[in-house]
């Protein structure tokens, strides 16, 4: 995506509209609501050379449709779901943050366990994302 600066960005999908098979290297975002829903919960994924990553900033269980899609990579699936965020309109930006940091080579755990995050009061993290972009 040129505007976000994220390479190998395949697209944005609702959970029931993910493609049948994941590309060798790609990343993207999925809304866990249905296609006709109001897009309430965003997650993202990265399929790299060695692993397939799933990031959920609310810490919810991965839907079966998304798991099936990511498993087509045939690689170890790492699910990162820490509750680092309360309800916010910045959900999509958190996904872009995760994908952008991964593209820079920052490890998945270092991305979501950034020393600047406040795990006790997730509302503090809003300012971090606003300043990041």
* pLDDT tens sequence across 93-104: 888 888 988 888
- How far apart (Å, rounded) are the C-alpha atoms in residues 15 and 118? 29
Question: What pLDDT sits at residue 66?
Answer: 92
Q: What integer is the mean pLDDT of 3-24? A: 86
pLDDT of res. 14: 85
CA angle, 98 then 3 then 53, to 5°: 25
- 117 contact partners, CB below 8 Å, separation of at least 6: 84, 124, 125, 128
Q: What pLDDT sits at residue 22?
A: 95
Of 14, 27, 112, 108, which Cα lies nearest the Cα of 66? Answer: 14
Q: What digits encode the pLDDT tens for the residues 50-108?
A: 999 998 877 778 889 999 999 999 999 998 876 655 556 677 788 888 898 888 888 87
- How far apart, in whole angstroms, are the C-alpha atoms of residue 2 and residue 81? 27
């Amino acid at each position: 995506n040129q505007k976000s600066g994220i390479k190998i960005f395949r697209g944005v999908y609702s959970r029931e509209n993910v493609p049948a098979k994941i590309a060798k290297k790609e990343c993207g975002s999925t809304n866990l609501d249905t296609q006709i829903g109001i897009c309430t919960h965003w997650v993202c994924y990265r399929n790299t050379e060695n692993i397939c990553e799933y990031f959920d900033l609310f810490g919810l269980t991965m839907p079966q449709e998304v798991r099936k899609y990511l498993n087509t990579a045939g690689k170890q699936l790492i699910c990162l779901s820490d509750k680092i965020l309360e309800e916010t309109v910045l959900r999509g930006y958190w996904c872009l943050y995760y994908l952008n940091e991964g593209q820079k080579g920052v490890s998945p755990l270092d991305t979501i366990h950034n020393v600047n995050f406040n795990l006790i009061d997730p509302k503090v993290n809003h300012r971090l994302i606003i300043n990041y972009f």
